[in-house]
Amino acid sequence: MPRRGFMSDGLREQIAVDLGVYDTVRNQGWGAVSSRDCGRVVRRAIEIAEQTVASRAGLNGQGLR
3 assigned to some structural domain: no
Per-residue HEC secondary structure of 4-55 comes to CCCCCHHHHHHHHHHHCCHHHHHHHCHHHCCHHHHHHHHHHHHHHHHHHHHH
Q: Is residue 14 part of a domain?
A: yes
pTM summary value: 0.75
pLDDT digits (tens, 9 = 90+) for 2-21: 556 678 889 999 999 999 99
Supply the range of the domain harboring residue 33: 9-57
Find the radius of gyration of the CA atoms of the chain. 14
- Domains in the chain, number: 1
pLDDT in the model for residue 50? 92
Q: Is residue 62 part of a domain?
A: no
Nearest CA-CA partner of 13 in 2, 25, 4, 3: 25
In a domain, 65, yes or no: no
Count of C-beta atoms within a 10 Å radius of residue 38: 14
